[in-house]
Amino acid sequence: MSNIHQSGWRPTSPEAGESATGTFTGNRALMLEEALIFEIGSTETTGVEVAEPAKVASRLGGLARSAPIGLPGLSEPEAVRHYTRLSRQNYAIDLGLFPLGSCTMKHNPRLNEKMARLPGFADVHPLQPVDTVQGAFEVIHQLAHWLVTLTGMHSVAMSPKAGAHGELCGILAIKAALEAKGEGQRKVILVPESAHGTNPATAAFAGYSVEDIPATADGRVDVAALKARLGPDVAGVMITNPNTCGLFEREMRTISDAVHAVGGYVYCDGANFNAIVGRVRPGDLGVDAMHINLHKTFSTPHGGGGPGAGPVVFSEALTPFAPLPFVEKQGDHFALVEEETAGEHHGKSFGRMVAFNGQMGMFTRALTYILSHGADGLRQVAEDSVLNANYVLRSLENTLDAPFAGSGPCMHEAIFSDEGLPEGFSTIDIAKGLIDEGYHPMTMYFPLVVHGAMLVEPTETESKAALDQFIGALRSVAERAKAGDESLRSAPHFAPRRRLDETLAARKPVLVWKDPELAQAAE
């Protein structure tokens, strides 16, 4: 074992692709280098002390491990330092503006956290007797009520655990409804070109073939092309509204009517609900099913893998097919409906999405958020998120190409393209330059309908001062690109790591650590 195992740090080696920092440790003041846990840990170190097991007869039937397991051992302070150092290399909404488009990275109010940590919510178990979790059920029931009210829909399935999971839930309900009508031959789902990747993936996963609907030059669904494609083989459409170009689909009602007229269903991707909450009810637009990302619109924390929550609201037509279980108020009591009851409104459920009831912690946070904002506050969320995005759009439209700036205001996100950047410079250089300015990059190269897209969603929780600083940073980076500043092409320069070969990393990911000494010995 080499000496780095005990040290907790590793001198920066220029050969390893890192530029020398000039310090002995590789640290730069408070920016601390951190090696892989395998390089820090040694099999001789451990954070726990357990007595040697008494001699017992092996019951492993000859399957006992003969070689060391090779897991790194760390003492408790080493383990704490390792993960704390790594955590400091993360960007977070608690550190600064997080412009990632379509993700609605807004501030997570601390009141939400306080409520979610109340022992009566935080410590409940899904297998507890129903009588002992009435308060938790009341939270689920109240949140369900507000989601149905805000969307103008008929019912809601609370159990799906994220947006994409909600999409699957909605499409499975559509499938069940079609099969109940004897129309299982409908095998095509139409999806606009600008759709989030999860939409076609969901439709394909549920056994449908996906066909693209083109966009018009102003960034919206080409309604004529959509109508021309409708027919007896079409199960439905999946449309994001506001769409991923940051624009409201003004023809949504026309689209829904046309789809219904040929016997199909309308799925709306509601991930962008933040822009219209309190102002537009998707139920009024003819939507049959829509997921709501509680972790976007309703401020429950996300990024770094969740947990999210993706309740799905349903029209009256799809309600009988919604998944189980759900919470129902029966007199003073909240009951958990877990099985189909023939003739009831949930009599034709397609089944379950999850083992239990969904993400209790996220429900508590989302309901706290809704109640603390109230009707006027939620409406202001939508208005301010749209105002902030338009401020970004208008502040930068003369610096970066803004393909839809001419078609009027945007919704909650502003989109730019790489048009007009000099030869050799593209969106990625701007994104990497932003890292040096201390920002997480915006969503890039998505949606695909905009060349070199940069999708910026500031959200309503940013102040004008915060927006001005971000706009200044983005303008400065864009101007460096336009002036052909070569240093931008190797940015970031101030981040813990330099620019990576992202194609290589995606195509040939190195997912398993190999001990270099063992690898050398094997040669």
Ligand X SMILES: *Cc1c(COP(=O)(O)O)cnc(C)c1O
**End-to-end CA, the chain:** 17
Cβ atoms 120, 135 nearer than 8 A: yes
- Size (the chain), residues: 523
**SS3 at position 478:** helix
CB of 100 to ligand X, least distance (A): 10
Q: Does 162 engage in binding with ligand X (CB under 6 A)?
A: yes
Which helix (H) or strand (E) covers residue 521, if one does? helix 516-522
Instruction: State which of residues 108, 112, 194, 244 lies at the interface with ligand X (CB under 6 A).
Output: 244
**SS3 at position 151:** helix
Report the distance separating Cα 37 and Cα 59, nearest Å: 32
Report the distance separating Cα 523 and Cα 518, nearest Å: 9
Closest CA to 473 of 437, 441, 444, 443: 437
Q: Of the two residues 296 and 480, which places its CB atom closer to ligand X in the complex?
A: 296
CB of 438 to ligand X, least distance (A): 24
Q: Of the two residues 443 and 461, which places its CB atom closer to ligand X in the complex?
A: 443
Q: Of the two residues 219 and 310, which places its CB atom closer to ligand X in the complex?
A: 310
Report the distance separating Cα 429 and Cα 426, nearest Å: 6
Q: For 260, phi and psi rounded to 5 degrees?
A: -65, -35
Angle at 373 between CA 367 and CA 376, to 5 degrees: 130
Cβ atoms 171, 207 nearer than 8 A: no
CB of 240 to ligand X, least distance (A): 5
Instruction: State which of residues 12, 108, 159, 293 lies at the interface with ligand X (CB under 6 A).
Output: 293
Q: Of the two residues 8 and 246, which places its CB atom closer to ligand X in the complex?
A: 246
Q: Does 433 engage in binding with ligand X (CB under 6 A)?
A: no
What binding mask, one character per residue, do residues 250-289 give for ligand X by CB under 6 A, x or -?
-------------------x-xx-----------------
CB of 4 to ligand X, least distance (A): 38
Sign of the Cα torsion 77, 82, 83, 87 reads positive
Locate 156 and state its tokens: 């809601």
Q: Of the two residues 35 and 255, which places its CB atom closer to ligand X in the complex?
A: 255
Kindly report the three-state secondary structure assignment for every residue of 41-105. Answer: CECCCCCCCCCCCCCCCCCCCCCCCCCCCCCCECCHHHHHHHHHHHHCCCCCCCCCCCCECCCCC
Q: Of the two residues 269 and 462, which places its CB atom closer to ligand X in the complex?
A: 269
Q: Among 3-11, 159-167, 404-412, 485-493, which window interacts with ligand X (CB under 6 A)?
A: 159-167
CB of 102 to ligand X, least distance (A): 4
What binding mask, one character per residue, do residues 449-478 give for ligand X by CB under 6 A, x or -?
------------------------------
CB of 71 to ligand X, least distance (A): 32
Locate 465 and state its tokens: 């001062």
What binding mask, one character per residue, do residues 301-340 give for ligand X by CB under 6 A, x or -?
-------x-x------------------------------
Instruction: State which of residues 41, 93, 102, 458 lies at the interface with ligand X (CB under 6 A).
Output: 102
CB of 55 to ligand X, least distance (A): 52
Given its phi and psi angles, is residue 343 left (phi above 0), alpha (psi -120 to 50 degrees) or beta?
left
CB of 203 to ligand X, least distance (A): 13
CB of 272 to ligand X, least distance (A): 6
Angle at 320 between CA 319 and CA 322, to 5 degrees: 65
- Total interface residues for ligand X by CB under 6 A: 15
Q: Of the two residues 102 and 364, which places its CB atom closer to ligand X in the complex?
A: 102
Report the distance separating Cα 337 and Cα 33, nearest Å: 53
Beta bridge partners of 312: 157, 291
CB of 7 to ligand X, least distance (A): 39
Q: Does 240 engage in binding with ligand X (CB under 6 A)?
A: yes
Q: Of the two residues 244 and 349, which places its CB atom closer to ligand X in the complex?
A: 244
Q: Of the two residues 103 and 178, which places its CB atom closer to ligand X in the complex?
A: 103
Residue bearing tokens 């600008």: 194
Residue 122, Cα to own-chain centre: how many angstroms? 23
CB-count burial class (<10 Å; 0-12, 13-18, 19+) for 498: middle
Report the distance separating Cα 523 and Cα 512, nearest Å: 18
What residue number has its CB nearest to ligand X?
A: 163
Closest CA to 425 of 381, 484, 504, 376: 484
CB of 347 to ligand X, least distance (A): 29
Q: Of the two residues 268 and 430, which places its CB atom closer to ligand X in the complex?
A: 268
Q: Does 198 engage in binding with ligand X (CB under 6 A)?
A: yes
Cα Rg, the chain, nearest whole Å:
26
Q: Of the two residues 195 and 481, which places its CB atom closer to ligand X in the complex?
A: 195
Q: Of the two residues 294 and 435, which places its CB atom closer to ligand X in the complex?
A: 294
CB-count burial class (<10 Å; 0-12, 13-18, 19+) for 387: middle
CB of 225 to ligand X, least distance (A): 21
Q: Of the two residues 295 and 480, which places its CB atom closer to ligand X in the complex?
A: 295
CB of 443 to ligand X, least distance (A): 9
> Which positions lie near ligand X, rule CB under 6 A?
102-103, 162-164, 196, 198, 240, 244, 269, 271-272, 293, 308, 310
